[in-house]
Amino acid sequence: MKEALYAVYGASGCGRGVMPLAREQLCRQGVAPDCLVFVDDAPVVPSINGQRVLAYGDFLAEQARERYIVLAIANNTVRRRLAARCAADGLRTWSLTAANVVVMDDVVIGEGGVLSPFVTITSNVRIGKHFHANLYSYVEHDCVIGDFVTFAPGVKCNGNVVIEDHAYIGTGAMLKQGKPGQPLVIGQGAVVGMGAVVTRDVPAGATVVGNPARIMNKD
């Protein structure tokens, strides 16, 4: 029986990008490679890039004293549902941080986060559970980020910004710096489109695109 078994939940593009981070982190901790697997709800191949792929039920059935899992699912609504499922089944939450991530002063990050290579988080930042920060994203000073927020690659989140739960920030988007006591706010469940330049608050549930970012018209 293994002391611990570790899994990346999701074997599609997001999961395949996260798996090398997981392998590197476990290697630094001296954990054997065979203690790391993919978990997928509908696996179609037995292995991907050298790691076994298990169905969720098979992962639960593996002989191990502890089981850790990180959710590599870009869709934050699905990520929230799977987090609840894993918690109900007694799985332990696992967080991943690439070796070259820069985290400065007074930063608090909730469980289950994934910080990809070249991510920078500066100072006095609060981040919730199951945050995904993809390649080359940054979070500047005095930001507050909620649970299940996703940053696609290259997001520029400047200082004094509040991002509420379940928001999605697209590739290359730029969030203008807010002011102390008057932050720029991205509302709950909002979507900021690829390359958008956000200069004012985004309402909850809205999708904004363009430079400057504007709410998409609904047909």
Q: Could you list the active site residues? A: 141
Q: CA 201 from chain center: how many Å? A: 22
The total number of residues shown for the chain amounts to 219
Residue 162 · residue 179 · CB < 8 Å: no
d(CA 133, CA 135): 7
Tell the residue number behind the tokens 């997928």, with chain if given.
40
d(CA 54, CA 19): 14
Q: What share of the chain is helix, strand, coil (3-state, %, to 5)?
A: 15, 35, 50
Using CA atoms, how far residue 33 sits from 36, 37, 81, 105, in Å, is 6, 9, 28, 33
Residue 114 · residue 132 · CB < 8 Å: yes
